């Protein structure tokens, strides 16, 4: 093996010819080095660094070493005392011969120009899901660079938890947290800006999505499912998929009221041909609680969000007729799995104890309605 001193004779650089694959080498013109992974022609060697990148480098710009210490200072120390290392290099090696260090260009995948980004939670120990801590990741499944801001709600405000740039088709670790922090993540917001580097691209709209993270899910094993991004099961929320951002799970009350009024007007118009029910002054007030009747759309709403909105309609209706003793109100809730009916009965038992209730007429309303009488 060539020693540092034998590389220079009469201040001239001597190029070793006995290099082979697997030799440890250091760069002469800069700090660093690696292992020879191959050769290109007579003049170039492929130096693989500790990150796995193969760097094409001229033979004249590397030296074989016997350890992993690639400090170029050892070579400099072998020079005559009246010569500086940069002087030797300037005299004997042309600037064009200096090694070129680079990172490989990001490889784009077919279909990756549609922006898809996800928020993922991964348990550190899936076998101890009720005790383990969790890791949060932002998954960028697209050919775009993504700059993100990850925020959690604090009352009516938000606190920034993390911000960074995620390279195309990679995932970025955000944070590790334990169960004491889960409650802080019940409402989170993610803001995204997507772009490409060193090339033209189609502009993607900025993304601003608010998500409701159900804390209960972190205690259930079946919540964490197999996925395309992690070897282990994960809880994955969609932020944007195929250029379509998910709708926020935060309900805009003002907008919902407007939608409800429009829906009520439409319902009145549709039911106009059935006046018999309204001609009888003793006829009950009928409130259809089906989501399709009281909401324009349920997109982006969880089952809990919908249930809470339906119960809110029950409370408002009972409050409206609270002073009209003897008024009968029929709440149409449908059979379904009985969740809405049980919730209504629970409210009647504990909040409206003076009111009486019973199943509404099967002939008129089927088996999915409850009649309440104001007392």
CATH of the domain at 206: 2.60.40.1600
Closest-CA residue to 304 (of 371, 370, 212, 373): 212
pLDDT in tens, 88-118: 333 444 444 444 445 556 778 888 899 999 9
Would you state the pLDDT for residue 215? 85
Arithmetic mean of pLDDT, 146-166: 93
Question: In sequence order, which residues have a C-beta less than 8 Å from that of residue 370 and are 6 or more positions away?
Answer: 330, 331, 333, 341, 344, 345, 357, 358, 359, 360
Arithmetic mean of pLDDT, 78-84: 37
User: For 246, phi and psi rounded to 5 degrees?
Assistant: -70, 145
- 78, two tokens: 């072998």
**Is 72 in the same domain as 180?**
no
pLDDT in tens, 288-305: 998 888 887 777 788 888
Arithmetic mean of pLDDT, 354-364: 86
- Looking at the domain assignment, is residue 106 inside a domain? no
- If DSSP codes are grouped into helix, strand and coil, which group holds residue 130? coil
Q: Is the pLDDT of residue 82 over 80?
A: no
**Is 237 in the same domain as 267?**
no
**Is 186 in the same domain as 67?**
no
**Is 148 in the same domain as 42?**
no
Question: Total domain count for the chain?
Answer: 3
Range(s) of the domain holding residue 64: 5-97
- Separation CA 236–CA 275 (nearest Å): 50
User: Pick the residue with more confidence: 16 or 160?
Assistant: 160
pLDDT bin (cut points 50, 70, 90) of residue 52 is confident
Q: Is the pLDDT of residue 250 over 50?
A: no
- Looking at the domain assignment, is residue 107 inside a domain? no
Arithmetic mean of pLDDT, 190-196: 95
User: Pick the residue with more confidence: 222 or 195?
Assistant: 195
- Looking at the domain assignment, is residue 317 inside a domain? yes
* Partners of 162 in the β-ladder: 150
Whichever domain contains 330, its CATH number is: 3.30.1370.110
Q: Is the pLDDT of residue 144 over 80?
A: yes
Arithmetic mean of pLDDT, 168-179: 92
**Is 308 in the same domain as 359?**
yes
Closest-CA residue to 253 (of 166, 313, 201, 336): 313
Domain boundary among 180, 211, 245: 245
Would you state the pLDDT for residue 268? 44
Question: Is residue 160 a contact partner of residue 151, using CB atoms and an 8 Å limit?
Answer: yes
Q: Is the pLDDT of residue 10 over 60?
A: no
User: For 150, phi and psi rounded to 5 degrees?
Assistant: -115, 120
Question: In sequence order, which residues have a C-beta less than 8 Å from that of residue 314 and are 6 or more positions away?
Answer: 287, 289, 331, 344, 347
Domain boundary among 216, 245, 274: 245
- Looking at the domain assignment, is residue 238 inside a domain? yes
User: Pick the residue with more confidence: 7 or 221?
Assistant: 221
Q: Output 247-252 pairs: Cβ under 8 A, ≥24 positions apart.
A: 247/299, 247/300, 248/209, 248/210, 248/211, 248/300, 249/210, 249/211, 249/212, 249/300, 249/301, 249/302, 249/305, 250/187, 250/210, 250/212, 251/301, 251/305, 251/309
- Separation CA 38–CA 19 (nearest Å): 10
Q: Is the pLDDT of residue 136 over 70?
A: yes
Domain boundary among 196, 213, 245: 245
Q: Is the pLDDT of residue 267 over 70?
A: no
**Is 175 in the same domain as 124?**
yes
pLDDT bin (cut points 50, 70, 90) of residue 314 is very high
User: Pick the residue with more confidence: 336 or 19?
Assistant: 19
- If DSSP codes are grouped into helix, strand and coil, which group holds residue 346? helix
Helix, strand and coil content of the chain, in percent to the nearest 5, comes to 25, 30, 40
Terminal-residue alpha carbon distance, the chain: 102
- Looking at the domain assignment, is residue 102 inside a domain? no
- Output DSSP code: residue 54: E
H-helix or E-strand containing 265?
helix 253-271
Would you state the pLDDT for residue 7? 46
Between helices 339-351 and 303-320, what is the axis angle to 10°? 40
- If DSSP codes are grouped into helix, strand and coil, which group holds residue 168? coil
Question: Is residue 237 a contact partner of residue 118, using CB atoms and an 8 Å limit?
Answer: yes
Would you state the pLDDT for residue 51? 75
Would you state the pLDDT for residue 133? 92
Compute how many other C-beta atoms are within 10 angstroms of the C-beta atom of residue 7: 18
**Is 190 in the same domain as 215?**
yes
- Looking at the domain assignment, is residue 38 inside a domain? yes
Whichever domain contains 38, its CATH number is: 2.30.30.140
pLDDT bin (cut points 50, 70, 90) of residue 203 is very high
- Separation CA 70–CA 25 (nearest Å): 7
**Is 214 in the same domain as 268?**
no
- Separation CA 30–CA 62 (nearest Å): 10
Give the residue carrying structure tokens 């001229």: 58
**Is 239 in the same domain as 257?**
no
* Partners of 35 in the β-ladder: 24, 48
- Looking at the domain assignment, is residue 202 inside a domain? yes
- Looking at the domain assignment, is residue 184 inside a domain? yes
Report the relative pairing of strands 328-332 and 285-288 from DSSP bridges: parallel
- Separation CA 138–CA 173 (nearest Å): 7
- Separation CA 313–CA 331 (nearest Å): 10
Report the relative pairing of strands 187-195 and 207-212 from DSSP bridges: antiparallel
Would you state the pLDDT for residue 95? 46
């Amino acid at each position: 093996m060539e020693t540092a001193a034998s590389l220079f004779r009469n201040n001239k650089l001597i190029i070793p010819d006995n290099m082979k694959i697997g030799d440890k080498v250091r760069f002469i013109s800069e700090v660093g080095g690696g292992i020879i992974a191959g050769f290109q022609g007579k003049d170039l060697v492929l130096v693989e660094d500790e990150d796995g990148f193969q760097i094409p480098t001229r033979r004249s710009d590397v030296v074989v070493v016997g350890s992993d210490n690639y400090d170029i200072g050892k070579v400099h120390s072998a020079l005559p005392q009246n010569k500086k290392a940069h002087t030797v290099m300037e005299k004997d090696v042309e600037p064009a011969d200096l090694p070129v260090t680079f990172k490989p260009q990001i490889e784009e995948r077919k279909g990756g120009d549609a922006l898809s980004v996800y928020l993922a939670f991964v348990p550190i120990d899936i076998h101890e899901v009720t005790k383990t801590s969790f890791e949060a990741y932002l998954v960028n499944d697209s050919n775009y660079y993504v700059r993100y801001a990850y925020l959690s709600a604090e009352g009516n405000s938000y606190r920034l938890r993390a911000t960074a740039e995620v390279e195309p088709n990679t995932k970025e670790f955000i944070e590790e947290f334990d169960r004491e922090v889960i409650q802080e993540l019940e409402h989170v917001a993610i803001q995204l800006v997507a772009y490409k580097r060193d090339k033209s691209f189609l502009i993607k709209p900025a993304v601003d999505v608010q998500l409701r993270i159900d804390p209960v899910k972190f205690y259930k094993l079946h919540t964490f499912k197999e996925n395309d991004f992690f070897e282990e099961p994960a809880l994955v929320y969609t932020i944007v998929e195929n250029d379509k951002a998910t709708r926020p799970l935060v309900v805009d009350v003002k907008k919902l009221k407007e939608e409800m009024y429009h829906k009520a007007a439409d319902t009145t118009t549709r039911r106009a041909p059935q006046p018999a029910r309204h001609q009888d002054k003793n006829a009950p007030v009928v409130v259809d609680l089906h989501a399709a009747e009281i909401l324009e759309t349920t997109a982006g709403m969880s089952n809990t969000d919908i249930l809470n909105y339906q119960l809110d309609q029950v409370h408002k209706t009972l409050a409206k007729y609270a002073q009209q003793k003897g008024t009968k109100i029929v709440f149409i809730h449908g059979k379904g799995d009985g969740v809405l009916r049980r919730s209504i009965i629970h409210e009647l038992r504990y909040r409206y104890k003076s009111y009486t209730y019973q199943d509404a007429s099967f002939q008129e309303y089927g088996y999915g309605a409850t009649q309440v009488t104001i007392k």
